[in-house]
Structure 1
Amino acid sequence: MSGSAADCQYWERLLAKECRLYKLRNKQRISVSAASKLLCNMMLGYRGMGLSMGSMIVGWDNKGPGLYYVDDNATRLSGRMFSTGCGSSYAYGVMDSGYREDMTVEEAYELGRRGITHATHRDAYSGGVVNLYHMQEDGWIKVCK
């Protein structure tokens, strides 16, 4: 997530609560697409009110892996690679120049680390807590903090 810490924390917790409620009501986990749509719909009601939040919704459901970008303007995009925040243009530069379809897992980790390093080094407002996760069908693993 990127943006105001308070906004990010609030909306992340609210989305998590709604996803848990969905699971209780429907006896199955919400899809990645539906979770991102839920956050997007929440943002719609607050568009133009000064929120500061950009988020990547990542997961694995019965349709396979899913990656979505949702922001405070209720923009919702599906894709294979996203970066969010004020340092994202630097990260995109690294990712665009180094990404290959046939990368090994270790090469992908290294590319992610380099993208984050360039974003936080080149942009004075980037940084804070940075976590790198690998999402897989059976769950996620924390690669580094």
Structure 2
Amino acid sequence: MECVFGLVGKDFALVVADSSAVHSILVHKSNEDKVMVLDSHKLMGASGEAGDRAQFTEFIQKNVSLYQFRNGIPLTTAATANFTRGELATALRKSPYMVNIVLAGYDKETGPSLYFIDYIATLHKLDKAAFGYGAFFSLAMMDRHYRSDMSVEEAVDLVDKCILEIRSRLVVAPPNFVIKIVDKDGARTHAWRETVKETPMSTA
């Protein structure tokens, strides 16, 4: 029941993901951060098989850092999206990564942007995107309420509407979500929306 979605506002982009690590009928943890900070101005939200998601997002993060180290300049968000798509396309013919990605970034020249990249290496630049079972409801809410000139407060309010809809409509809904933002000031965690707290393991 994974949910990852994002949107572009007036001068920022948001990526939101549930934080449940599940396998079959078991919930292993409810504070898994599925939105990776790639560099100072890029976010990558991912859904899919836990191993593929962790391995592939870390692979992209390290290669983005390597490019900046070698060349002295960071990849643009568009270049990062195309590199990610290329790696998924290459893997598709060998050992596919079962991972879907919402990539957000901020560039000085072009401002905020958001890219939809699925496991079969489809790439689209969009104003709003979503993956997982929650996409049915988050996309419906964003289609109705989204505006391209939204402020951060308006966008977060829309995110809260999406989360409420997901929690009320899905039979098994993720309890916790993380919201991250990227703008001219960089990529960072904006807030968590939690209904379940992790309990420490008993040592008795």
Whether TM exceeds 0.5 here: the answer is yes
Could you tell me which residue of structure 1 aligns to residue 156 of structure 2? 109
Could you tell me which residue of structure 2 aligns to residue 130 of structure 1? 177
Alpha-carbon RMSD: 2.0
In the alignment, the residues of structure 1 paired with residue 78 and residue 55 of structure 2 have an alpha-carbon distance, to the nearest angstrom, of 20
Report the structure, 1 or 2, having the larger helix content.
1
In the alignment, the residues of structure 2 paired with residue 5 and residue 63 of structure 1 have an alpha-carbon distance, to the nearest angstrom, of 33
Could you tell me which residue of structure 1 aligns to residue 75 of structure 2? 30
Secondary structure at the aligned position of 1:82 is classed as strand
**Aligned residue identity for 2:83:** L
**Alignment CA distance shift 1:78-1:108 (3 Å):** same
Deviation at 1:120, TM superposition (A): 4.2
**Aligned residue identity for 1:26:** N
Is 1:51 matched up with 2:91? no
**Alignment CA distance shift 1:102-1:68 (3 Å):** closer
1:87–1:125: 8 Å Cα contact kept in structure 2? no
Secondary structure at the aligned position of 1:2 is classed as strand
In the alignment, the residues of structure 2 paired with residue 53 and residue 125 of structure 1 have an alpha-carbon distance, to the nearest angstrom, of 21
Could you tell me which residue of structure 1 aligns to residue 19 of structure 2? none
**Aligned residue identity for 2:187:** W
Deviation at 1:4, TM superposition (A): 1.3
Could you tell me which residue of structure 2 aligns to residue 17 of structure 1? 62
Secondary structure at the aligned position of 1:20 is classed as helix
**Alignment CA distance shift 1:16-1:122 (3 Å):** same
Could you tell me which residue of structure 1 aligns to residue 137 of structure 2? 90
**Aligned residue identity for 1:79:** L
Gaps of 5+ in 1: none
**Aligned residue identity for 1:34:** A
Could you tell me which residue of structure 1 aligns to residue 21 of structure 2? none
- Partner deviation per Cα, 1:19-72 (whole Å, 9 max, x = no partner): 001001110111101111111111112227553211111111232212111111
Secondary structure at the aligned position of 2:132 is classed as coil
1:2 to 24, 29, 47: 47
User: Which of 1 and 2 has higher RCO (CA within 8 Å, sep 6+)?
Assistant: 2
1:85–1:126: 8 Å Cα contact kept in structure 2? no
1:46–1:72: 8 Å Cα contact kept in structure 2? no
Report the structure, 1 or 2, having the larger strand content.
2
2:88–2:96: 8 Å Cα contact kept in structure 1? no
Deviation at 1:124, TM superposition (A): 4.2
Identical pairs, percent:
25
Larger Rg: 2
Gaps of 5+ in 2: 1-45, 193-204
- Give the TM-score, by structure 1 length: 0.88
In the alignment, the residues of structure 2 paired with residue 128 and residue 7 of structure 1 have an alpha-carbon distance, to the nearest angstrom, of 23
**Alignment CA distance shift 1:121-1:15 (3 Å):** farther
